[in-house]
């Protein structure tokens, strides 16, 4: 049998395996669904349903993201809250693995990344941090749409792309890179009004705020300066969480994204995060 004849069988085999894995994951997540998906249930599913019904997603008070954040969620919102959420859970977990692969993680780093506390907690909450990570792997004009969905995770990456586009192509490069996102943001405010108004003041004092601000500002500044001096994307990925006055625990995953190519440092970062998590669980922190 020639190689050409084997290929269809291999493709069908992979498809079959993928379907089996998806079904098994669906059954597994279904069992634990009552313990996961908090942000999906309280924020993103209701906001997506508002859009599907022709309404304003900001009718949901806890929806604070850029309006296009809803777009990739719409297919899942066509299903019931539970079934759509389970499907989103599985796709999100697969996307975390894909991002690690795109960032050139070793096998060890990929496994550690998927079992790291921010990813673990992010899967429990089922937020949209994965969109920012996907944005890190895309060309700047497209990646900006993903990164600005959660500026607390990616604002330094925005600055990095600004400086990079200026250095490479001057004003023309900046316009080419930032015109699409600028137009989109302008239109979003024209259509929805100031959708940021009154939605940030309560975040700093929220019980879920896991920011180290202001104590971590020096770390963030150093990482930001190094990223701009040496044009290092990994430093830019890691910098923003250290500079944000509000940050959910799962959003620290951006720091891990910047470290993922360095097995030694990455391993100790994940171990350190788990030690902190255990201390908090035991009530000592």
Q: What is the pLDDT of residues 89-109, one digit of tens each?
A: 999 999 999 999 999 999 999
CB-neighbour burial class of residue 274 (10 A; exposed 0-12, middle 13-18, buried 19+) = middle
- What average pLDDT does range 73-92 have in this prediction? 96
Confidence of residue 5 (pLDDT cuts 50, 70, 90): low
CB-neighbour burial class of residue 34 (10 A; exposed 0-12, middle 13-18, buried 19+) = exposed
Output the pLDDT for position 276.
86
Confidence of residue 283 (pLDDT cuts 50, 70, 90): confident
Cis, peptide link before residue 83, omega less than 30° from 0: no
Residue 251 has pLDDT above 60, yes or no: yes
Confidence of residue 57 (pLDDT cuts 50, 70, 90): very high
Higher-pLDDT residue of 8, 181:
181
Find how far residue 172's CA is from the centre of its chain. 29
For residue 171, the SS3 value is: helix
- What average pLDDT does range 55-75 have in this prediction? 94
**61: which DSSP letter?**
T
Output the pLDDT for position 1.
46
Output the pLDDT for position 198.
61
Residue 38 has pLDDT above 90, yes or no: yes
Output the pLDDT for position 3.
47
- Tell me the backbone φ, ψ of residue 92, rounded to 5 degrees: -65, -45
Higher-pLDDT residue of 125, 4:
125
What Cα–Cα distance (Å) separates residue 26 from each residue in 42, 85, 165, 262?
21, 10, 43, 33
CB burial readout 43-62, b (16+ within 10 A) else e: bbbbbbbbbeeeeebbebee
**245: which DSSP letter?**
S
pLDDT in tens, 94-152: 999 999 999 999 999 999 999 999 999 999 999 999 999 999 999 999 999 999 999 99
Could you give the CA distance from residue 216 to residue 238 in angstroms, rounded to a whole number?
12
Give percent of the chain above pLDDT 70. Answer: 92
Q: Where are the domains of the chain?
A: 8-281
């Amino acid at each position: 049998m020639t190689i050409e004849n084997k290929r269809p069988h291999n493709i069908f085999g992979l498809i079959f395996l993928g379907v089996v894995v998806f079904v098994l994951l669906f059954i597994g997540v279904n069992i634990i669904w009552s313990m996961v998906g908090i942000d999906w249930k309280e924020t993103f599913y209701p906001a997506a349903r508002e859009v599907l019904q022709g309404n304003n997603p900001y009718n949901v008070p806890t929806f604070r993201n850029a309006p296009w954040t809803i777009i990739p969620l719409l297919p899942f919102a066509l299903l019931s809250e539970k079934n759509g959420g389970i499907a989103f859970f599985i796709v999100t977990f697969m996307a975390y693995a894909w991002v690690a692969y795109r960032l050139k993680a070793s096998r060890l780093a990929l496994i550690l990344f998927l079992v790291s506390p921010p990813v673990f907690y992010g899967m429990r909450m089922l937020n949209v941090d994965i969109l920012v990570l996907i944005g890190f792997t895309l060309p700047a004009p497209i990646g900006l749409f993903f990164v600005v969905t959660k500026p607390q995770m990616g604002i330094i990456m925005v600055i990095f792309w600004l400086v990079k586009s200026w250095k490479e192509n001057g004003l023309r490069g900046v316009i080419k890179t930032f015109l699409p996102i600028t137009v989109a943001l302008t239109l979003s405010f024209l259509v929805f009004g100031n959708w940021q108004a009154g939605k940030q003041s309560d975040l700093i004092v929220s019980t879920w705020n896991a920011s180290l601000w202001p104590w971590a500002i020096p770390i963030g500044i150093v990482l930001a300066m190094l990223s701009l001096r040496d044009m290092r994307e990994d430093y830019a990925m890691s910098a923003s969480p250290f500079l944000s006055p509000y940050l959910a625990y799962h959003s620290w995953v951006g720091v891990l994204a910047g470290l993922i190519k360095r097995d030694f440092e990455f391993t100790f970062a994940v171990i350190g995060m788990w030690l902190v998590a255990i201390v908090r669980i035991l009530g000592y922190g």
